[in-house]
A and B are shown apart, each in its own frame.
Chain A
Amino acid sequence: MAPSDNAIEAGANISLELRVNGELHAVSVPVHKTLLEVLREDIGLTGTKHGCELGECGTCTVLVDGQPVLSCLALPAVLEGHDVTTVEGLESADGLHPLQQTFVELGAAQCGYCTPGFVLAAKALLEKNSQPSRTEIETALGGNLCRCTGYLKIYEAVELAAARMRGEPAEPTREMLYGAG
């Protein structure tokens, strides 16, 4: 292939530093390799999943500077200097993120494949809105598809985590755990 003067030669790698979960990762990747692929294959963070790789299902959601982004459509080349947060970055030394805790308590993760995307999208919502209504939660999570749960336990988990993050003593209700009775 005759290399044209300004184009990056096809297949040539570009080197860049990505800040993921607060840590810098130097990578050398083809320019067209997506953030999703770089996270999973080059940085080894396989917590970010893919459902379509076409920006249609929300499974690959990560946070860039706190905002939900579809990593299958994002190119690392434009993300240098930005903060990428993946599901692996939600835990801390003193345990699970409140959203992870309520997803565990309410069975809001069934197969768990869409869960990383949902938890991150919900985290971004709660940072903007500490007491979202059910409709606001539906809208914020409307871009994330799930085939197992029917979304209801996810709503309850977000609402319960939001209450705890507001400092309220919140526990699952009897109906959440045992049904409408």
Chain B
Amino acid sequence: MAPVKTPPRKAPTEDRLRVVGTSLPKVDAVAKVTGRTKFADDLFLPRMLHCRMLRSTTPHAEIVSIDTQRAEEHPGVVAVLVGSDLPTPYGILPVSQDEHALCIDKVRFIGDPVAAVAAIDEETAFEACELIEVEYAPLDSVVDIADALDGDDPAIHSYGDAHNVHKAIALEFGDVETGLAEADLVQEDLLFYEGSTHLPMEQHAALADYRPDDRLTLWSSSQTPHYVHRALATVLEMAPSRIRVIATPNGGGFGGKSDPFNHEIVVAELSRRTGRPVKICLNREEVFYCHRGRHPTLMWIKTGFKQDGSITGMHFRSFLDGGAYGSYGVASTYYTGALQTVTYPVAAYKFEGLRVFTNKPPCGPKRGHGTPQPRFALEVHIDKAAEKLGLDPARMRLDHLVEPDSVTANYLKIGSMGLGACIEKVVAESGWNDRYGKLPEGKGLGLACGSYISGAGLPIYWNNMPHSGVQLKLDRGGGVTVFCGSTEIGQGSDSVLAYVVAEVLGIDPFEIDIVTADTSLTPVDLGSYSSRVTLMTGNAALQAAERARELLVRSVAEKWDMPGVRVAMADGQVFDVQDPDCTMTFAEAVVLAESKFGTIGTVGSYTPPRSPGRYRGAGVGPSPAYSYSATVAEVSVDVDTGETHVDDVWIAHDIGQAINPVVAIGQVEGSVYMGLGEALMEEMTYRGNRNIVHHHPSMLEYKSPTTHEMCRVHTYLIEDPDPNGPFGAKEVGQGPLLPIPPAIVNGVYDAVGARVDEVPVTPQKVLAALKRRAKQEEPREGPKKAPEFDWPDAIQVPPPWAGGDGRALDERREIGGGGVRT
């Protein structure tokens, strides 16, 4: 078969980078386009049983009894599990270990698993589930945020800050009231961001194989095999060293496959009980019930602006509808208050946030994890303030950008900061200055910015170990194998490892073997979430490769009797920079090194730098580097139907250094697509009565953009290398989503004067705002009132410019936050 035709790489001349910065195919591309890639449901083992789970048909009820007798006797059924068989609780965050593989005493949402069957085939397992009789004692269900706060429904969990309030946070950095008093304009807004789900094309699937010598292997479509490994060891009460978790390539994750899941633990236990491999593949409806998607979030924001647009004080409140379990929710809640300060300087900042439990599928991290909602609120809020202050929205932002290498009011350390260049690029390319506010009725431009973390600065469970580890094996035949725990979810993580190692060792990335996401074969990497993979695995791979390079250079320098500094490596060759004809192949260099040092193997690891914040909650928000994005969206709004169509998006993304530009562009376009979906149509909603039945748990009814709804995208990669990133690289997988929903909503206002303070900006909402506009009322559609809540006293943390040291005033000894980070 003819080798993949790849664009010619640069010759080994003096330019610094030969692989990094060049658009190349991904190392797994050929397998994916030929159908060779093995996803979890493509795996089959001899004597394999099939598992189905019985799920609750009522949103909130105690389990009075479960009768599995008839199921156990059904021909072809080999084992049946109920909640009491796996009593140990688990959960992704140490602070909310509130899940069981199968419900024990009560069910908390329609779809909550209560029993599981392993049978000779899926159909038999399905039939057996139908034979299981569960008697429920229904309880009042909690429908939404307001319902959870009014306190007259039973508590869904027995833990949390107050009844159905799972978590309540109050932090203040400087004196906000004084800041607001000094303002020329105090702008106040209430906005709502509807929940949405990841909708990965691949349904979750897992295959467990327990062997009689007490060894368990689990293949699963998971973004975080390391955390699944830990949860399995806890719940199954097995030594971690006897468990091997292999994350198969994810057919899309977007955050939806980053919790340890019921079905993973269930098939592992069923395999242990039956001694046979057990596989499960969720159907599409079950994927909706797995969820862990975007929290529906109500946000109140009050900001003081000077006439020049600078921010004197900001008070931000968020109310998150968390659903039935904790998941990442505590971290999500902190995230809704973390990144407001990383774009425009905020002199004094107060954040209050709470997450409630409701009887709905649990929410968790979806692309942007808790930051698209507040960014939407902030960027619409600023657009309104600009109008009142008579300032151009782009100019207002350009005039007040945070400084590179600075610390924010809430102690986030900013490194490189390219937002100014991003705004100037999209303003120029979209013709903003001559077209904003000047297009014909129905056409409009909207501008918005965003920033995102390049990986969470602290681990999810408190420890001082590296976040990412890489091992390299160099072979005397010239082969190189990279071992890393990172998980390929379509973002190109396998390829990044190959490019980084190829750049350092001067070899062809397509000749490198990549072994990833296997807890027995690969060193720990925490997983594919928070856009951490390129930066953290890249830095770990960089260290491992540089250590290997040093061994080769010392061996060759010794043979050629010259200082090592003259030895260069490029295009599979090792040569003397002063005499390029003096060369040997990479393989020959490895033979020399192996002869001198013995078997060549090196390791590299990466731990993010410590963040300056020392207050409780300081653990969410820090990152080794922050990416920045600016976008202009051009929309067409039909005033008769209220329909919004996005025609063009110009988006500039400060990526530091693109490792592979064409793959980076793909991440930007994918982020624009997902932001567009949430802005226009995606809704994870439920029937309005107490039964809380999901409106549309199917690919057809749950609206997501098809080829017809996607807009043209003009992508600009802004490169100003960040010292904390490998070759200067920062994230691109999630940041570009953030400015899209606010830019579209601001564009709708420019197009038809309708202010829709919530997403999705559906036709009904646009028409409602236009109707008010026609009656000379404020042309706004959006949430009316924020619920009352007795917020705890805010932890006071003086900002850096007010003599603060990162600690809270009354908890001077508080160090590093309450064990909550992601």
Q: Spell out A's residues near B (CB within 8 Å).
A: 40-41, 45-54, 56-57, 59, 86-88, 90-91, 93-96, 100-101, 103-116, 119, 137-139, 141-153, 172, 176-181
Contacts and interface: CB of A to CB of B under 8 A. Distances in A.
Contacts of A59: 201
A46 B35 contact: yes
Contacts of A176: 662
Contact of A147 (B491, B661, B704): B704
Contacts of A153: 662, 665-666, 669
B670 A51 contact: no
B26 A113 contact: no
B254 A147 contact: yes
Chain B interface residue count: which class? 35 or more
A70 to B, nearest CB: 12
A47 B35 contact: yes
Interface in B194-231: 198-203
11 contacts: A56-B699, A56-B700, A57-B201, A59-B201, A96-B34, A104-B26, A111-B489, A138-B708, A142-B708, A153-B665, A177-B7
Contacts of A93: 1
Given A110-B490, A138-B708, A152-B713, A91 B699 contact: no
Given A47-B34, A52-B284, A53-B284, A150 B662 contact: no
B25 A110 contact: no
B87 interface: no
Contacts of B187: none
Interface stretch (B37-45, B144-152, B382-390, B601-609): B37-45
A111 B252 contact: yes
Given A47-B36, A153-B669, 15 more contacts: A50-B41, A96-B4, A104-B4, A104-B25, A107-B26, A109-B33, A110-B490, A111-B32, A111-B249, A111-B490, A113-B39, A141-B707, A150-B674, A150-B676, A153-B665
B699 A111 contact: no
Nearest to A174: B23
B707 A148 contact: no
Given A101-B5, A179-B661, A113 B714 contact: no
A47 B37 CA distance: 8
A108 to B, nearest CB: 8
A103 B29 contact: yes
Interface string B634-670: 0000000000000000100000000011110110011
Contacts of A95: 1-2
Given A152-B710, A152-B713, A178-B662, A113 B33 contact: no
A104 B33 contact: yes
Contacts of B250: 111
B669 A150 contact: yes
B252 A113 contact: yes
Given A51-B201, A150-B670, A119 B710 contact: no
Interface string B693-734: 000001110001011101011111100000000000000000
A147 B4 contact: no
B35 A48 contact: yes
B804 interface: no
B23 A177 contact: yes
A24 to B, nearest CB: 20
A176 B31 CA distance: 22
B251 interface: yes
Contacts of A146: 201
Nearest to B714: A180
B28 interface: yes
B657 to A, nearest CB: 13
A123 to B, nearest CB: 12
B283 interface: yes
A149 B33 contact: no
A53 B283 CA distance: 8
Given A49-B201, A49-B202, A107-B663, A178 B33 contact: no
Interface in B18-61: 23, 25-26, 28-39, 41-42, 44
A150 B34 contact: no
A52 B696 CA distance: 13
A111 B707 contact: no
A111 B34 contact: no
Nearest to A155: B707
Interface string B246-275: 000111111000000000000000000000
B429 interface: yes
Contact of A112 (B23, B251, B669): B251
B29 A107 contact: yes
Given A111-B250, A113-B39, A116-B35, A149 B1 contact: no
Closest 5 CB pairs of A and B: A47-B35, A112-B32, A111-B490, A113-B251, A150-B673
B545 interface: no
B672 interface: yes
Contacts of A145: 201, 699, 704, 706
A179 B717 contact: yes
A174 B552 CA distance: 36
A176 B698 CA distance: 34
B181 to A, nearest CB: 45
A44 to B, nearest CB: 8
Given A51-B202, A90-B34, A111-B490, A148 B710 contact: no
A111 B251 contact: yes
B46 to A, nearest CB: 14
B32 A142 contact: no
Interface in B662-691: 662-663, 665-666, 669-670, 672-674, 676
Contacts of B708: 138-139, 142
Contacts of A49: 39, 201-202, 251
B669 A103 contact: no
Given A57-B201, A149-B666, A103 B33 contact: yes
Contacts of B28: 112
Contacts of A137: 707
Contact of A152 (B23, B490, B669): B669
B284 A88 contact: no
A3 to B, nearest CB: 17
Given A56-B698, A177-B662, A147 B201 contact: yes
A88 B669 contact: no
A146 B4 CA distance: 24
Contact of B699 (A51, A87, A116, A119): A51
A54 B707 contact: no
Contact of B201 (A45, A91, A111, A142): A111
Contacts of A51: 201-203, 284, 699
